[in-house]
Amino acid sequence: MSPRVAVIGGGLAGITAAIALAEAGAAVTLLEARPRLGGATCSFARDGLVVDTGQHVYLGCCTAYRGLLGQLGMTAHAPLQDRFDVTVLAPGPRRGRLRRTALPGPLHMLPALGRYPFLSLAERASVARPALAMRRVDPGDPRVDEQRFGDWLAAHGQSDRARRALWDLFTVSALNIAGDDASLSLAATVVKTGLLGRSNAADIGVPALPLGELHGDAGAAAAAKLGAQVLLGAKVTAIEVDDTVPPGASVPSDASVPSDASVPSDASVPSDASVPSDAPGASRSRSRSRFCLRLARPADPAGTAGAAGAVILADAVVLAVPHEAAARLVPPGALPAATVAGWAGLGASPIVNVHVIYDRPVMDLPFAAAVDSPVQWVFDRTRISGLAPRGPASSRAQYLAISLSAADEYVDVPAATLREQFVPALAELFPAAREAQVTEFFVTRERRATFRQAPGTARLRPRSGTQLPGLVLAGAWTDTGWPDTMESAVRSGLAAAIELRHTVLSRLGLPRAGYSDSVVSGSVVSGSEGNASTSTIGVRQ
């Protein structure tokens, strides 16, 4: 009989864990509180347009995330640049272009840096010093995580101008915190792996489909194809543990076990209440299980008729929710109270997206970065949103989305005020915007987009394993060594699956199908080496 694993949280971490565990032979139930999968990567419809709440990109070094894309059959729908190539705009006529050469990293960026127009010659030359020094920075060293990236850059000869006009371009968006305030450890992971690593490590991948399709719909389809059950609108309110049931095994309800241990905490719940008759593991429903998940309300299995119960029984649990929710759900005894309380210290940092639709094209690039402007990065979303084919051929409207990371100063500002600031800012960057009419303007705000990636956060991020055999954590905020990104989420999902497999599930002799040795051994999820890795999830696409 396959062990039943409940995965709580249908973001990228939960989707990854669900797929990896279903591939390994577990009977997986994926529970998501919202009516869709995808978590922080989501889309919504607005007046016939498909809008992503936040523009997402990834880098070539994001091997685990690329593996997930492959597993979902979505690689072609989130294409990578053939070469790192970023146009940098500023008010006025000057444009910079940071395009890598074919030279091996870290030499690949040198020619573009040498021509970068927004720094003086001396400032450009000064970049070599931190680039060389960064090679000696160990992101895993706790002392490194106690330092601010800005202090470290300043100590290595980087002027305020160099920090704002060059380093911020990459670290603010990657770490979602003002560049100077970032943890040196996390910044070093980004810089060493992306910018100074293999020559193709920083090539940028941009979704060509709305995130809801790219991850949510595709994740649900892939999980279902592997036999996993997806329950949407399934908010878990409590995880109860029956310690008398050994990890990884259910106990028949008529087995000779103490009667007071038969059902977790609430004896009124029938032991088979959790599992719809067509669910994986339903034939085992008369057995008692180690974990009992309480739902806020009965959940509908996605794509099937009928409702599941308000209780889910499982032999093992992956808790793949944001850190605040995990602190509320993690059962007593799973981790020291101080560890769970410490997660509050991870905090939150907002991302705001400003969406502007013009009556004509104003930007001639797929995306661009900006300096000396409140605009940080701006993306052409005309095609992806469905705007392009919607109007008549003569209507050549263009939809731009400005992505504002570390957006504390914008997150509470009314849309009308943001319009007064950002429409002129775009006009400064794009001369064609001065003549164009803005036909729509709206704002999306993600107040808790990522945790606040400041110094001192590494020690607050838990590993996937807990002291409660059978319960593991996942989520981009857990201790992956990576910033709170899609890559971190996928790595955490893989780490959780590996942890369960190595501890509880291996005792049950799950088949290895779908797991390559590299993933089982952890080579993909340990370290940040880049592009040669063979994330398994993805090998079989």
Out of 22, 26, 33, 230, the only residue in the binding site for ligand FAD (CB under 6 A) is: 33
Candidates 111, 180, 187, 176; CA nearest to 145 is 187
The neighbouring-strand residues paired with 15 are none
- 358 phi and psi, to 5 degrees? -105, 160
Instruction: Tell me how far apart the alpha carbons of residues 67 and 87 are, in angstroms, rounded to a whole number.
Output: 28
Instruction: Tell me how far apart the alpha carbons of residues 13 and 25 are, in angstroms, rounded to a whole number.
Output: 18
The continuous run of DSSP H or E covering 448 comes out as: strand 438-450
Instruction: Tell me how far apart the alpha carbons of residues 513 and 529 are, in angstroms, rounded to a whole number.
Output: 25
234-293 residues in contact with ligand FAD (CB under 6 A) are: 235-236
Cβ atoms within 10 Å, residue 260: 8
Choices 25-33, 75-83, 162-170, 420-428 (CB under 6 A): range interacting with ligand FAD: 25-33
User: Least separation, in Å, of the C-beta of 534 and ligand FAD?
Assistant: 20
Cis peptide before 106 (omega within 30 of 0): yes
Out of 18, 24, 40, 471, the only residue in the binding site for ligand FAD (CB under 6 A) is: 40
Choices 34-42, 186-194, 418-426, 494-502 (CB under 6 A): range interacting with ligand FAD: 34-42
Contact between 464 and ligand FAD per CB under 6 A: no
Out of 2, 3, 6, 11, the only residue in the binding site for ligand FAD (CB under 6 A) is: 11
User: Least separation, in Å, of the C-beta of 359 and ligand FAD?
Assistant: 27
Choices 321-329, 332-340, 497-505, 530-538 (CB under 6 A): range interacting with ligand FAD: 321-329
Written as six digits, the tokens of 11 are: 């973001």
Contact between 106 and ligand FAD per CB under 6 A: no
Choices 4-12, 76-84, 280-288, 355-363 (CB under 6 A): range interacting with ligand FAD: 4-12
The number of residues that bind ligand FAD (CB under 6 A) is 37
x/- site string to ligand FAD, residues 116 to 135, per CB under 6 A? Answer: --------------------
Contact between 311 and ligand FAD per CB under 6 A: no
Contact between 322 and ligand FAD per CB under 6 A: yes
Contact between 495 and ligand FAD per CB under 6 A: no
Out of 19, 29, 32, 228, the only residue in the binding site for ligand FAD (CB under 6 A) is: 32
Nearest residue (CB) to ligand FAD, 57 versus 162: 57
Dihedral sign from CA coordinates of 140, 163, 85, 39: positive
The answer for residues whose C-beta is within 8 angstroms of residue 157's C-beta and 6 or more apart is 126, 129, 130
Choices 55-63, 70-78, 195-203, 502-510 (CB under 6 A): range interacting with ligand FAD: 55-63
The continuous run of DSSP H or E covering 401 comes out as: strand 398-404
CA dihedral 139, 144, 145, 151 (to 10 degrees): -120
Choices 132-140, 150-158, 217-225, 484-492 (CB under 6 A): range interacting with ligand FAD: 484-492
Contact between 476 and ligand FAD per CB under 6 A: yes
Contact between 525 and ligand FAD per CB under 6 A: no
- 319 phi and psi, to 5 degrees? -100, 100
Candidates 280, 282, 279; CA nearest to 271 is 282
Out of 6, 19, 31, 64, the only residue in the binding site for ligand FAD (CB under 6 A) is: 31
Contact between 210 and ligand FAD per CB under 6 A: no
Cβ atoms within 10 Å, residue 531: 17
The continuous run of DSSP H or E covering 340 comes out as: helix 337-342
325-344 residues in contact with ligand FAD (CB under 6 A) are: 325
369-408 residues in contact with ligand FAD (CB under 6 A) are: none
Cβ proximity of 303 and 256 under 8 Å: no
428-447 residues in contact with ligand FAD (CB under 6 A) are: 446
Contact between 98 and ligand FAD per CB under 6 A: no
Out of 3, 4, 6, 9, the only residue in the binding site for ligand FAD (CB under 6 A) is: 9
Written as six digits, the tokens of 269 are: 């719940």
Nearest residue (CB) to ligand FAD, 180 versus 487: 487
User: Residues 382, 387, 389, CA angle at the centre, nearest 5°?
Assistant: 110
161-180 residues in contact with ligand FAD (CB under 6 A) are: none
The answer for residues whose C-beta is within 8 angstroms of residue 298's C-beta and 6 or more apart is 307, 308, 309, 310
The neighbouring-strand residues paired with 399 are 357
Contact between 190 and ligand FAD per CB under 6 A: no
Cβ proximity of 265 and 293 under 8 Å: no
The site for ligand FAD (CB under 6 A) is made up of 8-14, 31-34, 39-41, 53-54, 56-58, 235-236, 320-322, 325, 351, 446, 449-450, 475-476, 484-489
